[in-house]
Structure 1
Amino acid sequence: MTKQRLAVAEALAEVDDFATAQQLHRWLQDAERKVSLATVYRLLQSMADDGLVDVLRSGDGEARFRRCETERHHHHLVCRRCSKTVEVLAPAVERWAARVAEEHDFSDPEHTVEIYGLCASCRAELAQ
């Protein structure tokens, strides 16, 4: 593990929610950790490929990252209003993906699923 990778991992540990590469880079600069923005992007992609971080795309396509809470393959429920995110296991989705791939003679299917809605807190605030 390089010093830069360790610094990015420590920055992710400080984040409770998803953060952009630019936000993490800014945090590293504020903490006087010398990691270039390009390196932050590269390391986050590597960590995502290794299944160590979750990646969500915002409406404008920007990637947001956070440490995975579970090591198993999972999906996300995301609040459209506050961005609260819950990791969920979805065995029915896994079976469906495998079946669709098989029906079309594909192998090794990979997928991501994000379900967007309103969390209970945001619904309560909007109801007031």
Structure 2
Amino acid sequence: MPDIDERSTALRPTRQRRAITDALFVATDFQSAQEIHESLRGAGEKVGLATVYRTLQAMAEAGEVDVRHNPAGETTYRRCSDSHHHHLVCRGCGRTEEVTGPAVEAWAHAVAEQFGFVDVHHTVELVGLCAACAAAGR
């Protein structure tokens, strides 16, 4: 894990970070670092792939982006709502919906308390088929 100084540097409002943030803002779905890098290059932005990876990692650690792994195991990123949520993901087309789960939150809190854990974080991802993919027989 980077120390505070490295994290602060990665989250400074540099031109590159603004470009990455803008690319995430206009994206409608989760994207890999390579996809973000390609879209930036296509838009004429000079941002190195290593900078994209480093910035996305810092943004994920700061809770500014959500992270999920696609079926191929590749890490993907998307700007999501500010509130705590989970994802419902279509395994056919990759469509992702943000969902809340009060029962999951209560369960996570109860399990943590039962075992004496504090400051617990969790991620829940439900995977299935959206109606369109199910109808298409994917």
Q: Distance in 1 between matches of 2:29 and 2:72?
A: 18
Deviation at 1:71, TM superposition (A): 0.7
Q: Distance in 2 between matches of 1:60 and 1:101?
A: 31
CA RMSD of the aligned region, Å?
Answer: 1.3
Deviation at 1:60, TM superposition (A): 3.1
Q: Distance in 2 between matches of 1:58 and 1:82?
A: 11
Residue aligned with 2:104, SS = helix
2:131 is matched with which residue? 120
1:71 to 57, 69, 82: 82
1:60-81 deviations in Å (ceiling 9; x for gaps): 321111110x210100000000
2:93 is matched with which residue? 82
Q: Distance in 2 between matches of 1:33 and 1:50?
A: 24
- Correspondence 1:21 to 2:13: no
Residue aligned with 2:136, SS = helix
Note if contact 2:71-2:91 (Cα within 8 Å) is conserved in structure 1. Answer: no
1:36-55 deviations in Å (ceiling 9; x for gaps): 11110111112222222111
Q: Distance in 2 between matches of 1:122 and 1:51?
A: 31
- Correspondence 1:49 to 2:61: yes
- 5+ long unaligned stretches in structure 1: none
Residue aligned with 1:78, SS = strand
Deviation at 1:82, TM superposition (A): 0.3
Equivalent residue letter for 2:55: L
How many percent of aligned residue pairs carry the same amino acid? 53
Note if contact 2:87-2:96 (Cα within 8 Å) is conserved in structure 1. Answer: yes
Q: Distance in 2 between matches of 1:104 and 1:51?
A: 26
Equivalent residue letter for 1:83: G
Equivalent residue letter for 1:90: G
**How does 1:83-98 map onto structure 2 within 5 Å?**
83-98=94-109
Q: How many pairs are equivalent?
A: 126
Residue aligned with 1:111, SS = coil
TM-score of the aligned structures, taking structure 2 as reference length: 0.86
Residue aligned with 2:31, SS = coil
